[in-house]
Structure 1
Amino acid sequence: MSDSKFAEDPIQQLWTLESVGIVDQDMSPEDKFVLEEFKNSISMVEGRYEIIKEQLSLGFIETVPEEDQNRTNVHYLPHLPVIKDSTTTPIRIVFDASARMDKQAPSLNDCLYSGPSLTSHLTDLLLKFRLDPFAVSADISKAFLRVGLQPRDRDYTRFIWLKDLNNEKDLQAYRFRSVLFGATCSPFLLSQLATSL
């Protein structure tokens, strides 16, 4: 404790402990760079900051064009169905951005920078709830899918889909046009977009 900057000033130490979660966090140079990159590359396209046909019709994914089929610098995401007793979404597709080809190979999440944490501290949230007489909470439907993905990054979010269950060779390659739930950078992108609007 002797090497602490507060060792000589117990009043400062007490005040700092009392204000946990209220003081601004310093951003690293890497965090500042990512934040600037985000601000410089964001744009509104087609009004968007369940299963495959729905995702395709809503513009969340696209078929990989014929001319891009043989590209070498791509990444394919494994996926699996999650089945639940629900009337709105009985089957949901989950993509695994943390999957590795083998123990030495990096996953997609290993190659992505998660960005600085923009989540409010608990103390901040509690104080905000006490400022006004009413509090509102909302859940945006398919929130991550409402944030578009730059065309240069789409080939890293490819996946294969069986078009015909009766023909196991009838496969189609798709790629995301939106950021996907499960990617390590998605929470940063969504929260930064929300705070910049």
Structure 2
Amino acid sequence: MLINQLGNSKDDAVKRFMGLEKRFSMHAELKKLYTEFIHEYLALKHMKPISEDEKEETGFYLPHHAVLKPHSTTTKLRVVFDVSCKTSTGVSLNDALMVGPVVQKDLLDIILRFRVHKCGIVADIAKMYRMIGIHTEDQRILWRDSPIEPIRTFELATVTYGSASASYLATKCLQKCRCR
């Protein structure tokens, strides 16, 4: 099983975080938006800090970076967790995750169903993947608000977008929770 083949991911995550901080030093607005995102993640309990006595080297450390869309009216910053980052053994967390089957109808079927009824309802679920809690100690990120603070470790507590299983998990949860 590939999950047993995951190697060290922390070293690369630290290196990439230091690069992110260097970018922050040149772009104050990016730093502000990113910090707000991280604090929202914490406030919504989508991640939790790990205390020093809980910290072990096990778990997958996800490097993360920003994608900026300054002209966007809704989301100017999107934080991307790199679940495809290879560990020291050359295996990424995405390589080790099961994808799951396709559980939603074919797009053509969905579109044709709109023609059967007089009206169709469309919805956009905000933070869809982040609404699905998971029990895991496997997905971790590194963060600190300031370069003078020590780097802290956080466990992610929700489905991570970008992970191989995210689409399946979100769609399956919608199917299980839908009103009949």
Q: How many pairs were matched up?
A: 141
The structure number with the bigger radius of gyration is 1
3-state SS of 1:62 partner: strand
Post-superposition offset of 1:68 = 1.6
The answer to whether the 8 Å contact 1:163/1:172 transfers is no
2:143 maps to 161
Q: What residue identity is the alignment partner of 1:125?
A: I
Post-superposition offset of 1:81 = 1.0
Which of 113, 126, 148 is residue 111 of structure 2 equivalent to?
A: 126
Q: Write out the 4+ residue segments of structure 1 that deviate beyond 4 Å after TM superposition.
A: none
TM-score, normalised via structure 2 length: 0.72
Q: What residue identity is the alignment partner of 1:196?
A: K
User: 2:132, 2:168 → 1: CA distance?
Assistant: 11
Does 2:42 correspond to 1:56? Answer: yes
Q: What residue identity is the alignment partner of 2:141?
A: F
User: Comparing both chains, which one has the higher relative contact order based on Cα–Cα distances under 8 Å and sequence gaps of 6 or more?
Assistant: 2
Q: What residue identity is the alignment partner of 1:163?
A: D
Q: What residue identity is the alignment partner of 1:73?
A: T
| Residues 61/135 of structure 1: CA separation in 2 closer, same or farther (3 Å cut) | same
The answer to whether the 8 Å contact 1:117/1:188 transfers is yes
User: 2:75, 2:115 → 1: CA distance?
Assistant: 36
List runs of 5+ in structure 1 lacking aligned partners: 1-49
3-state SS of 1:188 partner: helix
Give CA-to-partner distance per residue, 1:11-35, whole Å, 9 cap, x none: xxxxxxxxxxxxxxxxxxxxxxxxx
1:66 maps to 52
1:136 maps to 121
Q: What residue identity is the alignment partner of 1:82?
A: V
Which of 176, 179, 182 is residue 156 of structure 2 equivalent to?
A: 176
TM-score, normalised via structure 1 length: 0.66
Post-superposition offset of 1:67 = 2.7
User: 1:72, 1:51 → 2: CA distance?
Assistant: 26
User: 1:122, 1:177 → 2: CA distance?
Assistant: 30
2:19 maps to none
Does 2:173 correspond to 1:193? Answer: yes
Structure 1 vs Structure 2 CA RMSD: 1.7
Q: Percent identity?
A: 30
